[in-house]
Structure 1
Amino acid sequence: MIDATAVRAVNTLTARWARAAVADEGTAFAATGVWPLLALLTGGAGGPARQELEGALGVAADGATALGGQLLGSLDAMDGVRAATGLWTRQDLPIRPEWEAALPPGVRSTLTGDAERDRKELDGWASRRTGGAIAEMPVPLTPDTRLVLAGALTVETAWLQPFRPGWLRPMHGPWRDRSRGGGAPTPPTPPRPPPARAVPVTPTARRGGPARSRRRRRRPVPGRAAPAWSAHGPHAS
Structure 2
Amino acid sequence: MEQTTLQDALNAEEIRAANELTRRWLTGRAEVPAVASGLGIWPLLAVLATGAVEATLEELLDAAGIDIGQAADIPTALLDAVRSAPALNLALAAWAGPRVTFDPEWVEGLPVDAIGTLTGDPDVDRPVLDEWASRNTGGLIERMPIDVDESIELLLASALSVRTKWRTAFDERAPFHSGPWQGRGKILAAAYSEEVLRVGSDAAVLTVQGDDDIDVLLALGREETPAQDVMSTLIDAAADSGWGRPVSELTSDMPSIGVTFFEYEGPTPQTTPETSAVVPAFNLANDLDLLEDAASLGLELASDDEFAQFDRLAAQRLYVSQAKQSCMAVFSATGFEAAAVTAFGIDWMGSAPQPLHKHRRATVTFDRPFAYLARHRPSGLILIAGWVNEPGE
Q: Secondary structure at the match of 1:181?
A: coil
Whole-angstrom CA distance in 2 between matches of 1:97 and 1:49? 20
Please identify which structure carries the higher strand content: 2
2:390 corresponds in structure 1 to: none
Asked if residue 124 in structure 1 is aligned to residue 97 in structure 2, the reply is: no
Question: 1:109 corresponds to which letter in structure 2?
Answer: G
Please identify which structure carries the higher helix content: 1
Asked if residue 176 in structure 1 is aligned to residue 180 in structure 2, the reply is: yes
1:148 corresponds in structure 2 to: 155
User: TM-score, normalised on structure 1?
Assistant: 0.68
- Larger RCO of the pair (alpha carbons < 8 Å, separation 6+): 2
1:33–1:170 CA distance, 2 compared to 1 (3 A): farther
Aligned residues: 188
1:223 corresponds in structure 2 to: none
1:101–1:194 CA distance, 2 compared to 1 (3 A): farther
Q: Secondary structure at the match of 2:185?
A: strand
Whole-angstrom CA distance in 2 between matches of 1:11 and 1:26? 16
Unaligned 5+ runs, structure 2: 1-7, 193-266, 268-349, 353-393
Asked if residue 70 in structure 1 is aligned to residue 77 in structure 2, the reply is: yes
1:38 pairs, out of 45, 51, 54, with 45
Which runs of structure 1 show a deviation greater than 3 angstroms over 4 or more consecutive aligned residues?
Answer: 25-30, 164-168
2:293 corresponds in structure 1 to: none
Whole-angstrom CA distance in 1 between matches of 2:186 and 2:158? 30
Asked if residue 105 in structure 1 is aligned to residue 100 in structure 2, the reply is: no
Superposed, 1:158-197 pairs within 5 Å as: 158-169=165-176, 176=180, 178-185=182-189
1:17–1:183 CA distance, 2 compared to 1 (3 A): same
User: TM-score, normalised on structure 2?
Assistant: 0.43
1:3 corresponds in structure 2 to: 10
* Structure 1 residue 73, shift from structure 2 partner: 2.5
Whole-angstrom CA distance in 1 between matches of 2:64 and 2:87? 26
Asked if residue 17 in structure 1 is aligned to residue 45 in structure 2, the reply is: no
Q: Larger Rg: 1 or 2? A: 1
Q: Deviations over 1:147-188 (max 9, x none)?
A: 2232211100112222333334387xxx63633212322569
1:110–1:48 CA distance, 2 compared to 1 (3 A): farther
* Structure 1 residue 19, shift from structure 2 partner: 2.5
RMSD: 2.9
CA contact (8 A) 2:98 2:118 kept: yes
1:86 pairs, out of 93, 96, 99, with 93
Matched-pair identity in %: 32
Q: Deviations over 1:59-84 (max 9, x none)?
A: 11233021222123212431111111
CA contact (8 A) 2:172 2:187 kept: yes
Q: Secondary structure at the match of 2:96?
A: strand
